[in-house]
Chain A
Amino acid sequence: MRVIIRETALEASEYIADYIISRIKAFKPTEDQPFVLGLPTGSSPEVIYKTLVQRHRAGEISFRNVVTFNMDEYVGLPRDHPQSYHSFMYKHFFSHIDISPQNINILDGNASDLAAECASFEAKIARCGGIELFLGGVGPDGHIAFNEPGSSLSSRTRVKTLAYDTILANSRFFGGDVDKVPRMSLTVGIQTIMEAREVVIVATGAHKALAVEKGLEGGVNHMWTLSALQLHQHPLIVCDRDATLELKVKTVRYFEAIEQSGTDARTQGPPLVYRPRTYVPAPMGASKTNQQPTPASTPPRVPKDLRINTQLNQTLDDEELTPDSMSSRMVDSAISGLDSTLKGDLMFDRMGTRVISH
C-alpha cells in the first residue's frame, strides 16, 4: 500500500488530479483502447474534479478516449434530481470536459429490474477489459462507495439499503426531510473495486482519521471496508495531514520516508511492476432473472414481473449486515463525507476526536 500525505486537503486533491492525468497520458488511450476510470461523488472528489476541469481547460488533458464508471447512485431518485449522482457528475465534471456521453456509465437507479441493471453494469466493466484506475473517497466509518460497515468483502454491484445514519446525514440535501432521502442505492461491490488494476482513495479532514487508521493499521475487516484494500496489488491512499491524526507517528514517518526515497509516480510513470491487462469478469449469476445482458448493447429494459415475488425481493436487498448506527462509534458521525476542512467549518479539538473503539 502506498500512502501519500499532504499538508492540506487542496494539496491532496491536486496530487490526485495530477496523478490521474499522468496515468491517462502514460496509457496513451485511443478510441479502441480507452482508459477506463472509476469515479466517486462527494465533497473531497469535488475538489479533484475542479482541478481536473482546470487542467482540461488549460489544454493539459483530454478525456476524449476515457470511459468512466461511477460507483453508485440512489434508487428511485429521478435522474435529473439535483441530488442524484448523475446530476453531481454532470454539474462538477462531465459538462465541463470533452468526454463523450456514450463513454459514461452510471448505474440507473430507476431501472425496472435493479438486479439486472447491476449485472449489466458488471458486464459493461468486463466488456471494457476492467477498470484501469478506480478513484474513491472514504466515509468516516470507513465505507467505500455505499459499502457500509458489514458489507461483504467479496460483494459485487448490487442494491444496498442505506444505514439510518447515512439517511440522516444526507437529509440535509433534501431540505432536512428524512422521508425524502432515498432508502436504497445501487453500488459497486468491494470485489468490483478490488478488480480494478489500481485503486486511489482520497481521505481529507479530521473526521476521516479514524477510518484511515482502521484501514491502514488495523486488520482486514468488513466493519471498515476500506481495509479490504490491504489485499489489493496497487492501492494508493492520499491524505491530508488531518486525516492522519489517528495514525501512529511511526506509520506517518514510514510512509513519508518511502515517498521521499521513491520515484514520483506523477512524473516518472507507473510503478515499476508488470501489470497484465487481463481481467476476470464477474460471475453472471448475480441476477435471478433469465435475461442475460448482451455484451454488444445495453440490455433492453424488461418490465418487472407483476406478480409479487418475495424470493426475488430477498435477492434484491442484500442480506449483509447494515448496522443502524455504526458511525456513532465516532464523535463526528456525519457519514458520507462533509469535509469540514474544505468547507471551512468548525475544527475539532484534535484529541477530542480520539475515540476508544470497542
Chain B
Amino acid sequence: MPGKTATPPRITKFTNCRIIRGNQLVEQDVWIDSLSGKILRDQEAFYELHMSPDEVLDLGGRILAPGLIDVQLNGAQGFDFSVPKSSKEEYDEGLRMVNKGLAKTGVTSYLPTVVSSTPEVYWKVLPSLGPSGAKHRAEDGAESLGAHVEGPFISPGRNGIHKTDVLRAAKSFEDVVGCYGKENMFGPSKTVRMITAAPEVGSMVNNIPNLTAQDIIYSIGHSDATYEQAMSATKQGATMITHLFNAMRPFYHRNPGVFGLLGQNEHRRPFYGVIADGIHLHPTSIRIAYNAHPNGLILVTDAMKLCGLPDGVYDWTNGERIVKTGARLTLEGSDKIAGSSATLIECVNNFRRWSGASTAEALNAATATPARLLGLEGVKGTLDCDADADLVVLTDAPDPYSGPTLTIDQVWKRGVKIYDAEKEATNSRV
C-alpha cells in the first residue's frame, strides 16, 4: 500500500517555545493533532480522551508562530499564475510546484494573484486557483484561500506594470461577472476571494455591494481616486487597500487620496497591504501608515515568478520583458518597478526593524491581521485551540549586517511537518 511507511506521529507537543498572545510573546506549550490537522484543546484531550503526546518537541526557547499568509502573490518558482499553460494539467502541475516551494518560505496559505488580463485568461486560470479546502493534504504545501484578481478594472494612469490594452471599465455588475466568469464568482464553484479595482473607473463603486454580497473582498487599488471617491468606496463596503502608496494618487495635503482613509473615523478604517521589501516603499512611509492604523497593516510580497531565480532578463505577461537585478525587478526599457522578489519573512524582518513594532506585532501583520481580513479568525493566523495546525518555528538571532532577524526553521501544515531547514541542510551535504 502506498504511503504506509513512516506514519507521522499523531499528537505532537511543542514545549519550551514562545508563542504570540496579543502583542506579546509568551511561553506556552502547543499540542497539535495530525489526524484532524488542528490545534488541540490539550487539557480536554488529556483528561477526556486520555491522549498524551506521541512526540514532544523541545524548541529551546524558539518562536512558534502561525503559518504566514500572503494575500498578494503573483507566482514563484518560475511559474506565473497569470499565464495559462497549454493544458489545465500542465498549469496545475506548475501550481503544485509553487505550493511546495512556497511552504518552505513559511507561507502556508495565500491568495494566488492574477494581474490584469483578458477574460479568456481568467476563464482558463481561475478554476485552478480556488480555495483548496478540505481536499488539501499537508504534503501539498501552501494552500490557496481563493484567488485575488488584481485588475483589469483599474485606472489606466495608475497601471504600474499592468498592460494598458487589457484594462477595462465596468458599466454594470454584468460586465464584472462576464470578465471573470460567472462560475468563478457564484456558488460552490466560486474561486475569486478578492478583487482589486479602482472605484472611480466606470461605475465600479456601485458594484461593491454586489461583490461583498458574494463574500468577495473589494480592495481599492491601482486607483486615481480622490479622498471623496475613496470614502464612498469604503461606505459601499471596501475593506482593503491594495499595496498602499504604490500605484495610487499620492498623498496631497488638500486631498489626502486613498491614503486618507487611514486617518478618518467616519467609516471603519480599511485593512491595507504594504510591500516592505525595501524597494517599493521608504521605511518612513510604512512607519507613518502603521502609526495611523496599526491594526490594519498587512504585509504582502507582491512577489512574482522570478522570486528565487538568477539575475537576468525574463519574459513576462503579454510579451513584455523584465530585468531582474538582485531583489529589484524592473520592466525592460523603463525603470518601473515590476513587483518584488522578497519573501514574506524578509518583509516581516524589514517591517520589525523599521516600524518599532514588537516581534509579535510584526508577525501578526503576516498572520492574524490577514486572517481577520479574510474572515478566518480562529481558523488561520492563530495558535488558539481548534485552529488549523499551520505553524512555523522561527529562530530570532542577530544578523551582523541587518540586525535582529527571524529565520524559518520548520514549517508544519495541518499538523504535519513539511519542511525542516536542519534536515534540508544535511540532505544537501550528502
B229 within 8 A of A: no
Whether the pair A95, B47 counts as a contact (CB closer than 8 A) is no
Whether the pair B15, A94 counts as a contact (CB closer than 8 A) is no
Q: Which residues of B contact A96 (CB under 8 A)?
A: 15, 29
Task: List residues of B (257-280) whose CB comes within 8 Å of A's CBs.
Answer: none
Q: Which residues of A contact B44 (CB under 8 A)?
A: 79-80
Q: Which of B15, B43, B50, B51 contacts A80 (CB 8 A)?
A: B43
Contact A86:B42 (CB < 8 A) given known A95-B29, A96-B15, A100-B52? no
Kindly supply a per-residue 1/0 record for chain B positions 23-47, scoring 1 wherever the CB is within 8 Å of any chain A CB and 0 otherwise.
0000001000000000001111011
Complex Cα distance A101/B29, Å?
A: 17
Complex Cα distance A266/B159, Å?
A: 78
Whether the pair A95, B46 counts as a contact (CB closer than 8 A) is yes
Q: Which residues of A contact B15 (CB under 8 A)?
A: 96
From A90, which residue of chain B is reached at the shortest CB distance? Answer: B43
Kindly supply a per-residue 1/0 record for chain A positions 100-117, scoring 1 wherever the CB is within 8 Å of any chain B CB and 0 otherwise.
111010100000000000
Across chains A and B, the number of contacting residue pairs, with CB separation under 8 Å, is 30
Whether the pair A87, B50 counts as a contact (CB closer than 8 A) is no
Q: Is the interface of A mostly helix, strand, loop or mixed?
A: helix
Task: List residues of B (42-89) whose CB comes within 8 Å of A's CBs.
Answer: 42-44, 46-47, 50-52
Complex Cα distance A278/B29, Å?
A: 40
Contact A90:B47 (CB < 8 A) given known A95-B42, A96-B15, A101-B52? yes
Q: Is the interface of B mostly helix, strand, loop or mixed?
A: mixed
Size of B's binding interface in residues, CB under 8 A:
11
Whether the pair A86, B50 counts as a contact (CB closer than 8 A) is no
Task: List residues of A (250-289) whose CB comes within 8 Å of B's CBs.
Answer: none
Q: Which residues of A contact B47 (CB under 8 A)?
A: 79-80, 86, 90, 101, 104, 106
Complex Cα distance A305/B214, Å?
A: 52
Name the distance in Å between A104's Cβ and chain B's nearest Cβ: 8
Kindly supply a per-residue 1/0 record for chain A positions 281-324, scoring 1 wherever the CB is within 8 Å of any chain B CB and 0 otherwise.
00000000000000000000000000000000000000000000
From B29, which residue of chain A is reached at the shortest CB distance? Answer: A95
Q: Which residues of B contact A79 (CB under 8 A)?
A: 44, 47
Task: List residues of B (220-249) whose CB comes within 8 Å of A's CBs.
Answer: none
From A82, which residue of chain B is reached at the shortest CB distance? Answer: B43
The CB with the most chain B CB atoms within 10 A, among A86, A101, A102, A104, is that of: A101
Q: Which of B29, B41, B43, B50 contacts A102 (CB 8 A)?
A: B50
Q: Which residues of B contact A104 (CB under 8 A)?
A: 47
From A102, which residue of chain B is reached at the shortest CB distance? Answer: B50
Q: Which residues of A contact B52 (CB under 8 A)?
A: 98, 100-101
Q: Which of A95, A98, A101, A106 contacts B50 (CB 8 A)?
A: A101
Q: Which residues of B contact A86 (CB under 8 A)?
A: 43, 47
Complex Cα distance A80/B44, Å?
A: 7
Complex Cα distance A90/B52, Å?
A: 12
Name the distance in Å between A41's Cβ and chain B's nearest Cβ: 15
Name the distance in Å between B233's Cβ and chain A's nearest Cβ: 43
Whether the pair B43, A95 counts as a contact (CB closer than 8 A) is yes
Q: Which residues of B contact A101 (CB under 8 A)?
A: 46-47, 50-52
Q: Which residues of B contact A98 (CB under 8 A)?
A: 52
Name the distance in Å between A52's Cβ and chain B's nearest Cβ: 16
Whether the pair B46, A94 counts as a contact (CB closer than 8 A) is yes
Name the distance in Å between A69's Cβ and chain B's nearest Cβ: 15
Complex Cα distance A233/B15, Å?
A: 41
Name the distance in Å between B204's Cβ and chain A's nearest Cβ: 49
Name the distance in Å between B53's Cβ and chain A's nearest Cβ: 9
Task: List residues of A (48-82) whose CB comes within 8 Å of B's CBs.
Answer: 79-80
Q: Which residues of B contact A100 (CB under 8 A)?
A: 50, 52
Complex Cα distance A253/B90, Å?
A: 87
From B56, which residue of chain A is reached at the shortest CB distance? Answer: A98
Name the distance in Å between A68's Cβ and chain B's nearest Cβ: 13
From B51, which residue of chain A is reached at the shortest CB distance? Answer: A101
From B41, which residue of chain A is reached at the shortest CB distance? Answer: A80
Q: Which residues of B contact A106 (CB under 8 A)?
A: 47
Complex Cα distance A80/B385, Å?
A: 13
Q: Which residues of A contact B42 (CB under 8 A)?
A: 95
Q: Which residues of B contact A80 (CB under 8 A)?
A: 41, 43-44, 47
The CB with the most chain A CB atoms within 10 A, among B42, B44, B51, B52, is that of: B52
Complex Cα distance A87/B46, Å?
A: 11
Whether the pair B50, A90 counts as a contact (CB closer than 8 A) is no
Complex Cα distance A104/B46, Å?
A: 10
From B31, which residue of chain A is reached at the shortest CB distance? Answer: A95
Q: Which residues of B contact A95 (CB under 8 A)?
A: 29, 42-43, 46
Name the distance in Å between B280's Cβ and chain A's nearest Cβ: 45
From A106, which residue of chain B is reached at the shortest CB distance? Answer: B47
Q: Which residues of A contact B46 (CB under 8 A)?
A: 90, 94-95, 101
From A104, which residue of chain B is reached at the shortest CB distance? Answer: B47
Name the distance in Å between A85's Cβ and chain B's nearest Cβ: 11
Complex Cα distance A33/B44, Å?
A: 28
Name the distance in Å between A287's Cβ and chain B's nearest Cβ: 23
Q: Which residues of B contact A87 (CB under 8 A)?
A: 43
Complex Cα distance A80/B42, Å?
A: 10
Complex Cα distance A322/B51, Å?
A: 39
Name the distance in Å between A162's Cβ and chain B's nearest Cβ: 23
From A100, which residue of chain B is reached at the shortest CB distance? Answer: B52
Complex Cα distance A104/B43, Å?
A: 13
Complex Cα distance A94/B42, Å?
A: 11
Complex Cα distance A98/B29, Å?
A: 14
Name the distance in Å between A80's Cβ and chain B's nearest Cβ: 5
Complex Cα distance A106/B46, Å?
A: 13
From A101, which residue of chain B is reached at the shortest CB distance? Answer: B50
Name the distance in Å between A84's Cβ and chain B's nearest Cβ: 10
Complex Cα distance A54/B19, Å?
A: 21
Complex Cα distance A98/B46, Å?
A: 12
With A100-B50, A101-B52, A106-B47 known, 8 other A-B pairs at CB within 8 A are A80-B41, A90-B43, A90-B47, A95-B42, A95-B43, A100-B52, A101-B47, A101-B51
- Can you pick out 17 interface pairs between chain A and chain B where the beta carbons lie within 8 Å of each other? A79-B44, A80-B41, A80-B44, A87-B43, A90-B46, A95-B29, A95-B42, A95-B43, A95-B46, A96-B15, A96-B29, A98-B52, A100-B50, A101-B46, A102-B50, A104-B47, A106-B47
Interchain residue pairs A-B with the least CB separation, the first 9: A101-B50, A90-B43, A101-B46, A102-B50, A80-B43, A101-B52, A80-B44, A86-B47, A95-B29
A binding-site residues for B, Cβ under 8 Å: 79-80, 86-87, 90, 94-96, 98, 100-102, 104, 106
